[in-house]
Each structure stands twice: as C-alpha cells, then as structure tokens.
Amino acid sequence: MTLFPRVLPQPTITLGIMGLWMVLAPSASLGNLLLAVILGVSIPWITRSFWPDRPYLARPLTGIVLFVRVVGDIIVASWEVARLVVGPLDRLKPAFIDVPIEIDDPFVATLLASIVSLTPGTVSVDIDRAAGILNVHALNVADEAEMIAAIKRRYEAPLKRVFGC
C-alpha cells in the first residue's frame, strides 16, 4: 500500500468535508482552515475500515448523464406523486414488484436500490443478490412490466456501463 491511500483513503470525501466545514464556519480564518484540514483528513482515516473497495468507473461521463437523468426523474416523479396524492386515492394502484437485476457488485446493486428509493413514489424494499431480485414498492403501478423495463433501461443499464459490470 502506498503512502497516499494510507494518509488520504478517501480524498474526495476529505475535500468535501473540508469544503463543507469552511462553508459552515462563521469566518474564513486560519484556525477554521486548520480545523477543516484536521477533520477532513481524520474522519475518512478513522472510518476507512467501514468503506468498501472503491468501484472502478469505466465510463464516468455516462455517470454524469445518469446523474442528470436521476435528478430529472426526481423532479418529474415529485410532481406526479403530488398530483396523485391530492387527487382521489382510489386511483392509486400500489404494488410490490420484483425487478430482476443483472448486477453482481454489491455496491452497484445498492446504488441501484438507492436511486429507486430516491425517486418519489418508489422505494426499494430488499435486494436478493443470490436470486438477482430487487424488490420495489411503488405507489402507483399501471403496468408492472413497463415499470420493470423502465427501471432496467433508465437506471440499471447505465449503472452497468458506468461501473463496467
């Protein structure tokens, strides 16, 4: 193991902590900067044993496109859920759906489940990696096959390209 990963096991998180500390600090003093560096280095270092191995990004630009898609889907789904909840509740068709997934990596499978849960109107209930099933509860399911196809097309396929799995 080289010196750099031992000192800064998560450099992006280190920079994030330091930046967040400086934004939240009451003043941009040398003391606050020093404290930001101490926290930014020590927190990831102390918690390094909890972090899984970093996944390899095969196509980072696809990840940016996926991020934009997820943000757009969150905005659209928020509007749809608000419209559904305000309207007559008998129109809702909640259902549990088993989405077959083709992802072996636990981090990427968890990322898929997180994306599904971030989108209003859906929540990931369970990931059965042995069976290759992501169990999802949806607030309104008009067509189960279409919802499964949409999750696979919009989220799973790009995640597989981003992480090369």
Question: What is the per-residue pLDDT across 40-54, written as a single tens digit (0 to 9) for each?
Answer: 888 888 887 777 666
Residue 148 pLDDT class (50, 70, 90 cuts): very high
Q: Is it the case that residue 165 has pLDDT exceeding 90?
A: no
**Among the listed ranges 28-32, 49-53, 109-113, which one has the minimum average pLDDT value?**
49-53
Run of H or E residues at 65: helix 60-86
**Among the listed ranges 3-12, 89-98, 155-164, which one has the minimum average pLDDT value?**
3-12
pLDDT of residue 154: 95
- 112 contacts 159 by C-beta, under 8 angstroms: yes
Q: Compute the average pLDDT of residues 86-97.
A: 87
Q: How far is CA 91 from CA 83, 86, 88, 140, 147, in A?
A: 11, 11, 6, 8, 17
Q: Is it the case that residue 1 has pLDDT exceeding 50?
A: no
Mean pLDDT, the chain, as a whole number?
87
Q: Mutual orientation of helices 106-118 and 60-86 as an angle, nearest 10°?
A: 30
Q: What are the boundaries of each domain within the chain?
A: 3-50, 60-163
Q: Compute the average pLDDT of residues 19-42.
A: 88
Q: Compute the average pLDDT of residues 146-156.
A: 95
- 134 contacts 124 by C-beta, under 8 angstroms: yes
Q: What percent of the chain has pLDDT over 70?
A: 93
Statement: the pTM of the whole predicted model exceeds 0.85:
no
